[in-house]
Chain A
Amino acid sequence: GQSLEQPSEVTAVEGAIVQINCTYQTSGFYGLSWYQQHDGGAPTFLSYNALDGLEETGRFSSFLSRSDSYGYLLLQELQMKDSASYFCAVRDGDKLIFGTGTRLQVFP
């Protein structure tokens, strides 16, 4: 079967750094994406890794290790507005297979 595992919940304080891990087991793999979703809203694209290594986009960075079937999203200088659910997603052809999701709560 196909699975993408993430921690269910992470908490942190404003200004801190948090890392959300994703381990995957899928039949196909073209790359790993990360999405943010606020309650009741649509997923918004954050980052994409097709190759091993670190991709940096502002306060957010994403890492991929294909040999370990593992990736993570790093959020720096946390703000209250970062409180949301975060999903990793494997691209398999034109499909996206979403992870279990991590709920991030940022406290003042």
Chain B
Amino acid sequence: GAVVSQHPSRVICKSGTSVKIECRSLDFQATTMFWYRQFPKQSLMLMATSNEGSKATYEQGVEKDKFLINHASLTLSTLTVTSAHPEDSSFYICSATWTSNEQFFGPGTRLTVL
């Protein structure tokens, strides 16, 4: 199946700093990438949908100025958590697709904000 990578897998940062998470499709060109957030023992919540070369579409309640998404190429999307705070600590997962039929998920990035 298609492979999606994320980097870093874990990150610990101080409150107030910004963190960038990369999502790459390794063996296919992704027309659309998605970013999810998952708190412990909870479900995956869609944060935003990202199409290459255009602005991301954010879900209701997700601050676009706090969670900056850039989809510069068909194989790379980045999520930047700006001015991170402890409540932003979570598991961030991306997925990628080139059709509407199936999303391929990355391994996730665990963010801990101290």
Contact = CB atoms under 8 A, between A and B. Distances in A.
Interface of A: 30, 40-45, 48, 87, 91, 93-101, 103
Contacts of A96: 34, 46, 95, 103
B105 to A, nearest CB: 4
A93 B107 contact: no
B77 interface: no
Contact of A98 (B43, B100, B106): B43
Interface size class of B (residues with CB under 8 A): 20 to 34
B43 A99 contact: yes
A91 B102 CA distance: 9
A43 B1 CA distance: 14
A44 B107 CA distance: 10
Contacts of B49: 94-95
A44 B105 contact: yes
Given A42-B105, A42-B106, A94 B97 contact: yes
B32 A94 contact: yes
